[in-house]
Amino acid sequence: MPTKLKGMESLKRTKIRDLIQSEEWGKEVTAKGWVRTKRESKNVVFITLNDGSTIHNLQVVLDAEVIREEVISRIHSGAALSVTGEIVRSLGAGQNMELKAHEVEILGEANPDEYPLQPKKHSLEFLREIAHLRFRTSTFGAITRVRHSMIFAIHKFFNDKGFYNIHTPIITASDAEGAGEMFRVTILDPVNPPRKEDGAVDYSHDFFGRPTNLTVSGQLEAELAALSMSDVYTFGPTFRAENSNTSRHLAEFWMIEPEMAFYDIHDNMDLAEEMLKFLVQYALDHCRDDLEFLSKRQQEEERQKKVEDRSPMELREKLMFVLDNAFERITYTEAIDVLQNSPYNRKNRFQFPVNRWGIDLQSEHERYLVEKHYRTPVIITDYPKQIKAFYMKVNDDDRTVRALDVLFPQIGEIIGGSQREERLDVLLRRMKEMNIPEKEMWWYLETRKFGTVPHSGFGLGFERLMLFITGMGNIRDVIPFPRTPQNAEF
């Protein structure tokens, strides 16, 4: 316990989230935070203070006769303050209470000539360049709080359902998952690595004695756990070294991968839909003020856009819409049928015409189904086996697999998953067909050898969920420090 100062009791700091709801007029409190704006008058100075605990700011009132001019003149946007004073009813509009300062301590100054954040709207592109400071904006404060709530809600959802969280490895030696280019993990000298006689790099001298990479998915390891613990999920970082330059891709992102024994593809779809709805409901229940701010922000941005590019629904309306409607569940074959007979296809308005069964669906096709045809989230299942991964369960027709994609408006694929192939002979055949090295996967195959059972799972891209919940348009703005090609600053 810190020793109390004589005469002047040191007050415990109260968070602004709690302060602004207080009606304990006359109570002495201490607030700490960062200055958003300062407005000066002859006799009185107003400071809006924010400490990240809420989207709302605390109005601090400094009486020029109480607080020394020398202190007031050093307060600028961005400065950190500790303010002790009394809670009073606000005389102005815009807030119920304000803090009448008795004492102000400047914890950290901010030079106004250099501080880049101004009390005005900044472009998201500019804020990305100052990601170390963008938490101090209302927008990123809101996003950060919503992000936390979603992380928490995900763990709550699975915990309440009796799932166990599994930490799957971040460094992996298997490169057989086929989920994209990987980042190599090595301690070998890049200029002069040890070489074998044929000139190839000799990884037996590397840290693990073999080539290793950052994980592209925790699925295979999660399957191992599920085939013993029944229901498990992972929630960890995922790395893809793809040269993807879009508003929906990151080189480092977070993924939720539940894996369930005794689930078929229908159980899998039920879980995916239930989870997404739970998360949306949680956001609506727990992030009211932040969502309201983000909604207003989005509406202002929408006004700059062309009418046809505007989203038809306001943010919270869009979230409610997901809650109120059952996701449309269709097979790939049905999707092709709808697309082939669509007026869009007949009038040749697709860049990639839909002319035969077996083609991979392009994002324009997915968007048509979700935004134009069904006008609700869509789950597509039973894709041709040629365009899907080796571990997906082959259907009796031997041409489709029990894959599932959950498609959302604007975002596209938010979830990808499948029922897994549990039959050892079929799995081995599929691996041969797709040139997956059996030898490296011996541990995966043993789960099919010893007590194999039907099981299923899926992957939810956490940042894509965040795009949907916050209404933001670029995935780089829903993660604090985005990793993209040519960018690993901060």
Partner RNA sequence: UCCCCAAUAGCUCAGCUGGUUAGAGCGAUUGACUGUUAAUCAAUAGGUCCCUGGUUCGAGUCCAGGUUGGGGAGCCA
Residues at the interface with RNA (CB under 7 A):
37, 39-44, 46, 48, 59, 61, 76-77, 90-95, 98, 100, 112-113, 116, 118-123, 125-126, 128, 179-180, 217, 240, 242-251, 253, 255, 360, 362-364, 412-416, 459-461, 463-464, 473-476, 485-487
Return the number of the residue (203 or 263) whose C-beta is nearest RNA: 263
Return the number of the residue (282 or 408) whose C-beta is nearest RNA: 408
Return the number of the residue (203 or 457) whose C-beta is nearest RNA: 457
Return the number of the residue (232 or 389) whose C-beta is nearest RNA: 389
CB of 377 to RNA, least distance (A): 13
**Contact (CB, 8 A) for 220 and 421:** no
Return the number of the residue (44 or 171) whose C-beta is nearest RNA: 44
What is the enclosing helix (H) or strand (E) of 221? helix 219-229
CB of 139 to RNA, least distance (A): 13
CB of 364 to RNA, least distance (A): 6
**Contact (CB, 8 A) for 87 and 58:** no
Return the number of the residue (375 or 483) whose C-beta is nearest RNA: 483
CB of 451 to RNA, least distance (A): 27
CB of 447 to RNA, least distance (A): 20
Return the number of the residue (55 or 206) whose C-beta is nearest RNA: 55
* CA–CA distance, 63 with 103 (Å, rounded to integer): 10
Please name the residues in contact with 104: beta carbons below 8 A apart, sequence gap of 6 or more.
Answer: 62, 67, 71, 72, 75, 81, 82, 83, 84
CB of 75 to RNA, least distance (A): 10
CB of 167 to RNA, least distance (A): 18
Return the number of the residue (54 or 206) whose C-beta is nearest RNA: 54
CB of 62 to RNA, least distance (A): 10
Burial of 210 (0-12, 13-18, 19+ CB in 10 A): exposed
**Cα–Cα separations (whole angstroms), residue 286 to 30, 52, 149, 316, 467:** 26, 16, 7, 13, 17
**Contact (CB, 8 A) for 484 and 245:** yes
CB of 18 to RNA, least distance (A): 19
Return the number of the residue (206 or 232) whose C-beta is nearest RNA: 232
| Closest among 406, 410, 217, 221 to 305, alpha carbons compared | 410
Q: CA dihedral defined by 153, 156, 161, 163, rounded to 10 degrees?
A: 100
* CA–CA distance, 449 with 439 (Å, rounded to integer): 15
Q: Give me 212's structure tokens.
A: 């290793």
* CA–CA distance, 166 with 25 (Å, rounded to integer): 49
Q: Give me 475's structure tokens.
A: 């995935």
Torsion 398-399-405-407 (CA) sign: negative
**Contact (CB, 8 A) for 405 and 416:** yes
**Contact (CB, 8 A) for 49 and 58:** yes
